[in-house]
Amino acid sequence: MKQGSISIVGAGPGDPELITVKALRRIQTADVILYDRLVNEELLAYGRKEALRIYCGKAPGQHSMPQEGIERLMIKHASAGSHVVRLKGGDPFVFGRGGEEALASAAAGIPYEVIPGITSAIGAAASAGIPLTHRGLAASFAIVTGSRCHDHAAPVRWDALAHSVDTLVIYMGVSHLGGIREQLLKHGKDAATPVALIENGTTARERTVTGTLGNIDKLATAMKISNPALIIIGEAVKVREQLLALENAARSQIG
C-alpha cells in the first residue's frame, strides 16, 4: 500500500486567484479534499474528478463537524494511503487550527506539510486599500480574534492592545463590536481613531464601511455588516480615503 500524507493548505482570503502555486498543485493531486466554509468552492474544480470532497466547515455556533472529527478523518484517509488536502480559508496557522491538525498528524506518524496562504488581514486590507503599515502612520500591527471576548480563561488584553501597536486587526469580531469598542475606549484609545469594517474581503461581494471608534458600532448596525468581516483600527485606515479621493479626482479630469 502506498504511503499516505496530509497537506494542510491555506486557500487565501476568498479570491480564488490569490491561492499560491504550491497550494494549487496539491489540490490538483489530492485523493481527498477536506474543505472549510470560507474556502472559495471554485478551487475545488481544480481537483481530480475522482477525488473525494468532504465539507467540514464551521460557522459561528454551527459546526458541521467537530475539530476532533476532522482530525480523525484526515488520519483515517491518510492511513489508508491517500494524499489528503486539508483546505482552509486564509492561512492555516492564523486562527485556522492548523497547528492542532499538524500535531494530530505528527502524533499519528503521518507525513505532513503546511502550505501557507494569504490571511485575510493581509488580503482584505490590501483589497480595501488599507496598508497595515504606512510610513508616518503605522510601523506595527497586531492580529487578534474577537471570538475570545467572553473567554474568561484567556481574555483579550485590550488594555495592552490599545496602545502597544499602531494598527489593530480583529478577526471574528463583528458580533462583539460594541464590547470591543467599549474596552478600547475604556483603556484610553481615542474615539476619533479611524476604523474600517471589510465584509467578504477580496470577493465580488466585498463591502467596506469606514468610521471612527466612536461611531463604528452604529454604522455597522445601520449598514447591516455581517460575517465574514474584518475590523481594522488605526490611522492607516486614512490611506483608503486618500486613495479614493485621488482616484475620483483622476476620473473627473478624464471626464
pLDDT tens-place string over residues 16-63: 999 999 999 999 999 999 999 999 999 999 999 999 999 998 766 555
DSSP state letter for 3: P
pLDDT of residue 97: 95
Active-site positions?
36, 58, 172
Q: How far is it, in rounded angstroms, from Cα 100 to Cα 170?
A: 21
Beta strands across the sheet bearing 83-88 = 52-55, 32-35, 83-88, 5-10, 112-115
- pLDDT digit string, tens, across residues 142-199: 999 987 655 556 789 999 999 999 999 999 999 999 999 999 999 999 999 999 999 9
Predicted confidence at residue 5, as pLDDT, reads 98
User: Residue 228's Cα: distance from chain center in Å?
Assistant: 8
Nearest to 8 by CA among 116, 114, 117: 114
Q: Can you give the pLDDT at residue 65?
A: 86
- C-alpha 211/C-alpha 51 separation (Å) is 46
* Chain region(s) in the chain for CATH 3.30.950.10: 120-242
DSSP character at residue 203: S
For the chain, give the mean pLDDT: 94
The torsion of the CA quartet 168, 171, 175, 181, rounded to 10 degrees, works out to -10
Residue 147: the pLDDT is: 74
Give the three-state DSSP class for 180. helix
Superfamily (CATH H level) for 120-242: Tetrapyrrole methylase, C-terminal domain (3.30.950.10)
Nearest CA to 220 out of 179, 162, 186, 165 is that of 179
Find the helix packing angle between 98-107 and 67-79, rounded to 10°.
40
User: What does the alpha-carbon distance between residue 15 and residue 106 come to, in Å, rounded to a whole number?
Assistant: 31
Q: Which residues pair with 115 in a beta bridge?
A: 9
What's the alpha-carbon Rg for the chain, to the nearest Å?
Answer: 20
Angle between helices 177-186 and 216-223 (to 10 degrees): 170
pLDDT higher than 90, residue 91: yes
The set of residues, in sequence order, having a beta carbon less than 8 Å from that of 230 and lying 6+ positions away, is 120, 121, 124, 125, 169, 170, 171, 197, 198, 201
**What pLDDT is attached to residue 230?**
97
C-alpha distances (whole Å) from 199 to each of 14, 40, 125, 180, 223 are 11, 15, 11, 18, 11
Looking at residue 120, its pLDDT comes to 95
Question: Would you call 225 helix, strand, or coil by DSSP?
Answer: coil
Q: Residue 205 has what pLDDT?
A: 96
Question: What homologous superfamily does CATH list for 5-115?
Answer: Tetrapyrrole methylase, N-terminal domain (3.40.1010.10)
pLDDT at residue 252, rounded to an integer: 85
pLDDT of amino acid 149: 54
Give span(s): CATH 3.40.1010.10, the chain: 5-115
Share of the chain above pLDDT 90, in %: 89
Local confidence band at 251 (pLDDT 50, 70, 90 cut-offs): confident
Buried b (16+ CB within 10 A) or exposed e, 32-68: bbbbbebbbeebbebbeeebeeeebbbeeeeeebeee
